[in-house]
Structure formats: structure tokens, C-alpha cells
């Protein structure tokens, strides 16, 4: 049975992944609609408005290959990234196809019509031939369950849900966590707060970012698309050398030791006069065991007289303060939860039902899996961007390759006059055995990180570089799927 022509595609999310998919579909002449729960484009860069939010990646890499931009810095801040995505959406005619402030609650496959029924939070439903989830990996903030947290009388804010009206001027601020978001918040709020106390459960490896503003002549130079593309290639090759065959992720490898030594040298340099801080900030696990923090501002901020590091976990709260694992209480007016996301709960905010009404999260259990992160057998015409085991490498480049894969599958269905495409179960099983085998020799398996599910299986990370992922997607276009 063929889907009524022309079939439409529902894209859920208007961040980097959703926008590039829309552009690729548009070029292929395929109709689409984007559902976006927020008021604007940007995805995580619309939602994450905490002070100091910026990218770890170089700006010329953290952009679409086909859409160069006049970036102001080597590594740009949240507002500029969000402006870039608005610019791209408008320039490529995507904006008119976005339905803002529309949250998708569920997508349900109709076996009879070979379509998905997309249900929104407003109670409206609509049918689509294909669905692309572009909700991202970091969509569900992780909240602690400390005793007494609900009794804390001060202001509590998670970095993922920052209140822009929050004023920390002259206040005692407690920041829980020392990951990437905390490393950006602390240096930004410290000059305004009366004091900042940073609670560290486990230190992370930190590398200097080396970020700066582009000079006027650099901006003129990079205004030439060819020069910006050449710089992008240079940056791409540099990162691929580091991640080729997952070298930097494998504890004890020459590349891994090289970067660990860089991190150790940076730690020793900044805290040459504070051996107590140097000791407290030195990880006891191999480099890359958890996400590396890339910042040139966090370590210097910890040297301020009004910033205090507590290398202890938080265990509870009182109405006026925070209690650490040693039982010490410290007063606070503002509590900042830089506690990250529940990254292993893919599609936690979306119910997906496939053939015969099967529920995707039920099929997954605690260990999500997919064909190259994109397709799960039994859920035809449904694609997941930034899905299981795709985190890492060059994120935006990966999104472009994923979008190409999706468009190739849809056009294949249409060209053959068929109604659906599904992942081959045997290929999915073999592929995921290979991925887990590659992961088994990385530092991730022994690290305390957000990569592992409750069973200990690493379900978020890609163990190779971007080039290998692109080649895998090309190979799986036919080998990994079946059209019917």
C-alpha cells in the first residue's frame, strides 16, 4: 500500500539537526513541517541561557559546511550561535515552515495507512508519511534529589532552565558541579556575586580553550567563503587526527597520554602557587574518562578570593544552606544546579509507537540502540537525529551526514513507489556489537560519566571520528535498511 502522494515529513525540533534536515528535504522537493516547542529556533542554544554559555568547538567547525558566517570569535557564545541559526533558517526559506510553541507528545504508526499520527500537547493530531526526531541529546535536565532541597529558601536554578531575571549581585552563590556548564557559569557570575562556592563531586580534565575575538583583518579574510572553508578543513583534519580510530579516547594510547599531559601541564601552570587546589582538581581516572572541560576561564576564576572550591559532594540542604559529604554547612542565597542532563534517556519527552503499537522506550529498556543512531527495527519511516551512540566527533558535520541519510531513505521509498523503509534487524544487531566492541577499549567504560545507562553500557558515545561515521552512514544506506 502506498502512502498518499505527496507524503509529508514531520520534523520535531528546530535546532541544528532539524534545520539542516529541512534544508536537505527542501532541496529534494519533499514537503515538511517543523514542530518547535520554543518561541524561536536554536534548540539547546535557545533554551540554555545561563551566563557564559558558549561552544567548546571552533566557530568555523560549529557551523554548516554550506553556510559560512561572519563569526566574531574563535569560539562563539550562545547568542551568536542562535543568531546564526535564525540567519540560516531565514536565508534558506525554512522559517515559514516552523510551527513555534507546538510541543509534540506522541507519534503513532498506523499500520493500515503506513503513516504516523503526530499528536501535540494542544490535543491536535496530524498525519505524516515520515517523522524525524531532532529533539537532541540534552533535552532532559538532571535534577538532584537531596533531602531538604524543597525547603531551601533561596533561589534555585538549573543551568538548563536559567531565569534571566535572576540577579546574583551581592549574593552568596553555590554552584553544584564542575562540568562544562559550571565552568562557564562560575567565571561569569563571580565578578557580580558576593561569593561563589563551587561543590565538586569529582574533578574533570580541563584543557585551555584559547578563545578570543577575531581581529578586523581576520574577519575580512574569513568573509571570503573560500578562506573560511579552508580554515574549516584545517580544523577538521586536526580533530580527525586526534580521534582517528578513537585514539584520544583509549586510555594509555599515545594520543591519550599526549592530551592528558597537556591537561596536567595546564593544571600545574595555573595553580603553581596553590598546590592544595592543584591536588583537589587532579582527576584520578584516565583522560577522556568523562567529558573533557574546555575553558580558559574556569581555573583562573578559582584563584579569586571570593571563589571557594569544596571538593565534596552535596548530600542535603537546609532552608539557608548546603551540606556537603563531611557534614559541613555553608550558607547560600542562590543555588545553581550545574548537574547536567539525563542524556541516556533518549526521546524521554516523546512517546513513539511503531508497528502493532509497540512502544520504543519499552523496546529499548535501559539500553537504547539504533542503526547508526538513526533507525530502530519495527519503527518504519521514523528517524532519530543525535540518537544512541552518535555523540562525539564533529556534531554539526554529523548532522549534515545524518540528514543526507534520511533524505536518501525517503527518496528511495518514493522512487520505488513504496510506502515504508525500516532498519534490518540483523544489521542493527551486528552494527551495535561492533560499536560496543570499539567502546570496550575506551576510557569511558571505567569513568563516572553521563555516557552509561543504568546497566553500565555506554549508549551515548561514538567511538570513532567524524569521517568514519560519514562512511558508515554511506555504507548503511542500502545494507542497513529495507524498503517495502
* Structural domains of the chain ordered from first start: 9-140+343-483 (3.50.50.60), 149-205+252-287+289-337 (3.50.50.60)
Please report, rounded to a whole number, the percentage of residues in the chain having pLDDT higher than 90: 95
Distance CA 303, CA 277 (A): 9
pLDDT confidence of residue 348: 87
β-pairing, 382-384 vs 104-110, is unpaired
Residue with cell 557570575: 189
Cβ atoms < 10 Å from Cβ of 348: 14
Residue with cell 531538604: 148
Distance CA 458, CA 444 (A): 8
pLDDT confidence of residue 5: 57
pLDDT score of 446 more than 90? no
pLDDT band at 366 (very low <50, low <70, confident <90, very high): very high
User: Residues 18-39: pLDDT tens digits?
Assistant: 999 999 999 999 999 999 999 9
167 neighbors 278 (Cβ within 8 angstroms): no
Torsion angle of the four alpha carbons 258, 261, 267, 268, in this order, in degrees rounded to the nearest 10: -140
What is the average pLDDT value for the chain, to the nearest integer? 96
H or E, element range at 468? helix 466-479
- Report how far apart, in Å, the C-alpha atoms of 193 and of each of 154, 161, 200, 328, 334 are: 14, 20, 19, 22, 10
pLDDT score of 4 more than 60? no
The CA R_g of the chain, rounded to the nearest whole Å, is 23
Distance CA 57, CA 61 (A): 7
Written as nine digits, the cell of 51 is 551566563
Distance CA 187, CA 290 (A): 22
Distance CA 175, CA 173 (A): 6
pLDDT score of 3 more than 80? no
Beta strands in 187-247 (DSSP E): 195-199, 206-207
Q: Residues 244, 245, 251, 254: is their CA dihedral positive or negative?
A: negative
Whole-prediction pTM value? 0.95
Comparing C-alpha atoms, which of 227, 216, 213, 212 is closest to residue 68? 227
pLDDT score of 448 more than 50? yes
- Report how far apart, in Å, the C-alpha atoms of 224 and of each of 42, 75, 217, 219, 397 are: 25, 19, 12, 9, 21
pLDDT band at 2 (very low <50, low <70, confident <90, very high): very low
Written as nine digits, the cell of 442 is 575506551
Distance CA 444, CA 450 (A): 10
Residue with cell 570499539: 438
Please tell me whether the peptide bond between 6 and the residue prior to it is cis, using omega within 30 degrees of 0. yes
b/e sequence 269-286, b meaning 16+ C-beta within 10 Å:
ebbeeeeebbebbebebb
Mean pLDDT of 69-96: 97
pLDDT band at 135 (very low <50, low <70, confident <90, very high): very high
Least confident among 205-219, 237-251, 424-438: 237-251
- Coil, strand or helix at 25: helix
Tallying the residues shown for the chain, one arrives at: 484
- Coil, strand or helix at 175: strand
H or E, element range at 186? helix 180-189
pLDDT band at 6 (very low <50, low <70, confident <90, very high): confident
The angle formed by the CA atoms of residues 94, 96 and 101, to the nearest 5 degrees, is 100
User: Residues 451-484: pLDDT tens digits?
Assistant: 999 999 999 999 999 999 999 999 999 999 999 9
β-pairing, 329-331 vs 104-110, is unpaired
Residue with cell 574549516: 232
Residue with cell 570513532: 464
- Counting Cα atoms < 13 Å in the Cβ hemisphere of 48 gives 29
Mean pLDDT of 209-223: 96
DSSP state of 452: B
Mean pLDDT of 335-362: 94
Q: Which residues contact 444 (CB under 8 A, 6 or more apart)?
A: 249, 288, 289, 290, 451, 452, 458, 461
Cβ atoms < 10 Å from Cβ of 98: 20
pLDDT confidence of residue 1: 33
89 neighbors 21 (Cβ within 8 angstroms): no
Q: Which residues contact 452 (CB under 8 A, 6 or more apart)?
A: 344, 444, 445, 458, 459
pLDDT confidence of residue 212: 96
Amino acid at each position: 500500500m502506498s502512502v498518499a502522494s505527496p507524503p509529508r515529513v514531520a520534523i520535531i525540533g528546530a535546532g541544528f539537526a532539524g534545520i539542516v534536515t529541512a534544508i536537505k528535504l527542501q532541496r529534494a522537493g519533499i514537503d515538511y513541517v517543523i514542530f518547535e516547542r520554543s518561541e524561536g529556533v536554536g534548540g539547546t542554544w535557545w533554551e540554555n541561557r545561563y551566563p557564559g554559555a558558549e561552544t567548546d568547538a571552533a566557530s568555523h567547525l560549529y557551523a554548516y559546511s554550506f553556510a559560512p558566517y561572519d563569526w566574531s570569535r574563535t569560539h562563539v557564545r550562545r547568542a551568536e550561535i542562535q543568531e546564526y541559526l535564525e540567519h540560516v533558517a531565514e536565508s534558506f526559506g525554512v522559517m515559514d515552515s516552523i510551527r513555534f510553541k507546538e510541543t509534540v507528545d506522541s507519534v503513532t504508526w498506523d499500520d493500515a495507512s503506513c503513516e504516523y499520527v503526530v499528536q501535540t500537547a494542544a490535543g491536535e493530531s496530524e498525519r505524516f508519511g515520515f517523522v524525524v526526531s531532532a529533539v537532541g541529546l540534552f533535552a532532559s535536565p538532571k535534577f538532584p534529589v537531596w533531602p531538604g532541597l524543597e525547603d531551601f529558601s533561596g533561589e534555585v536554578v538549573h543551568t538548563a532552565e536559567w531565569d534571566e531575571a535572576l540577579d546574583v549581585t551581592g549574593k552568596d552563590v553555590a554552584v553544584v558541579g564542575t562540568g562544562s556548564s559550571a565552568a562557564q557559569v562560575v567565571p561569569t557570575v563571580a565578578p557580580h556575586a558576593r561569593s561563589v562556592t563551587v561543590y565538586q563531586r569529582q574533578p574533570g580534565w580541563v584543557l585551555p580553550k584559547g578563545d578570543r575575538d577575531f581581529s578586523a583583518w581576520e574577519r575580512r579574510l574569513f568573509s571570503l567563503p573560500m578562506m573560511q572553508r579552508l580554515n574549516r578543513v584545517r580544523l577538521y583534519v586536526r580533530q580527525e587526527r586526534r580521534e582517528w580510530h578513537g585514539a584520544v579516547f583509549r586510555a594509555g594510547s599515545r594520543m591519550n597520554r599526549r592530551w592528558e599531559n597537556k591537561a596536567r601541564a595546564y593544571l600545574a601552570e595555573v595553580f603553581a602557587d596553590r598546590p592544595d587546589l592543584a591536588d583537589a582538581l587532579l582527576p584520578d581516572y584516565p583522560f577522556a574518562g568523562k567529558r573533557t572541560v574546555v575553558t580558559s576561564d574556569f581555573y583562573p576564576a578559582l584563584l579569586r578570593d571570593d571563589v571557594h572550591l569544596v571538593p565534596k559532594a552535596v548530600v542535603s540542604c537546609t532552608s539557608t544552606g548546603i551540606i556537603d559529604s563531611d557534614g559541613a554547612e555553608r550558607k547560600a542565597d542562590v543555588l545553581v544546579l550545574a548537574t547536567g542532563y539525563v542524556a541516556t534517556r533518549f526521546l524521554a519527552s516523546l512517546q513513539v509507537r511503531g508497528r502493532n503499537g509497540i512502544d520504543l522506550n519499552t523496546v529499548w529498556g535501559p539500553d537504547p540502540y539504533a542503526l547508526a543512531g538513526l533507525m530502530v527495527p519495527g519503527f518504519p519511516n521514523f528517524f532519530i537525529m543525535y540518537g544512541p551512540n552518535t555523540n562525539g566527533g564533529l556534531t554539526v558535520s554529523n548532522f549534515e551526514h545524518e540528514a543526507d541519510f534520511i533524505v536518501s531513505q525517503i527518496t528511495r521509498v518514493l522512487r520505488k513507489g513504496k510506502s515504508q523503509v525500516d532498519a534490518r534487524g540483523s544489521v542493527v544487531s551486528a552494527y551495535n556489537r561492533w560499536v560496543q566492541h570499539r567502546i570496550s577499549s575506551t576510557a569511558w567504560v571505567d569513568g563516572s560519566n553521563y555516557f552509561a545507562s543504568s546497566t553500565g553500557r555506554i549508549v551515548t558515545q561514538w567511538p570513532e571520528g567524524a569521517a568514519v561515521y560519514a562512511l558508515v552512514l554511506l555504507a548503511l544506506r542500502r545494507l542497513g535498511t529495507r524498503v517495502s
